[in-house]
Structure formats: structure tokens, C-alpha cells
Amino acid sequence: MNAANNLIRMANQIGDFFSTMPDRPQAIADVADHLKRFWEPRMRRALLAHLDAHGDAELNDMARQAVREHRERLL
């Protein structure tokens, strides 16, 4: 498994965790906040570069929305 696949897998796990929250907009913001606070900048850049090159179909719905809505915060 390559690094991009690991990042996708981890982002999806985070999305799965926050998907149980009843307030969806807050959950999406919390996914982005988690990525910003706990992932190194190079991990976030690598994830975004992979998504730019290959699209975001591999992400689950929660992770996809978080990246789309909060991309600027993740840079």
C-alpha cells in the first residue's frame, strides 16, 4: 500500500468516526479540524495533491465534504 492510499484510509477512518455526530455541518468542520491539528503539513499536502491528481472518489462522504469545504484551512 502506498502513502497516498494510507492517507485516504486514515481520512476515511476520521470521516467514519465523525459521521456518527448528529450535527452534520459541525461534524464536517470537526473532520477538517482534526486533519489540521493532528496531521503534519506534508501529510495534508500529499493528500490534497493526490486528490488533485486522481479525484476524491476514494474518500467517504464525510471526508470528501470536509476536504471540499475546508480545503484552504488544510493548506
Percent of the chain with pLDDT over 70: 99
Task: Please report which confidence band the pLDDT of residue 13 belongs to, taking 50, 70 and 90 as the band edges.
Answer: very high
Q: Distance of alpha carbon 16 from its chain centroid, rounded?
A: 11
Q: What is the pLDDT of residue 1?
A: 64
Question: Does the structure show a pLDDT above 90 at 58?
Answer: yes
Q: How far apart are CA 66 and CA 1, in angstroms?
A: 24
Residue 15 binned pLDDT confidence (cut-offs 50, 70, 90):
very high
Q: What distance in Å separates the CA atoms of residue 53 and residue 34, rounded to the nearest whole number?
A: 23
The secondary structure of the chain in percent helix, strand, coil, rounded to multiples of 5, reads 80, 0, 20
Query: Cell digits for 34?
Result: 482534526
pTM for this structure?
0.94
Q: For the residues 33-39, what does the mean pLDDT come to?
A: 98
Where along the chain do its domains lie? 3-74
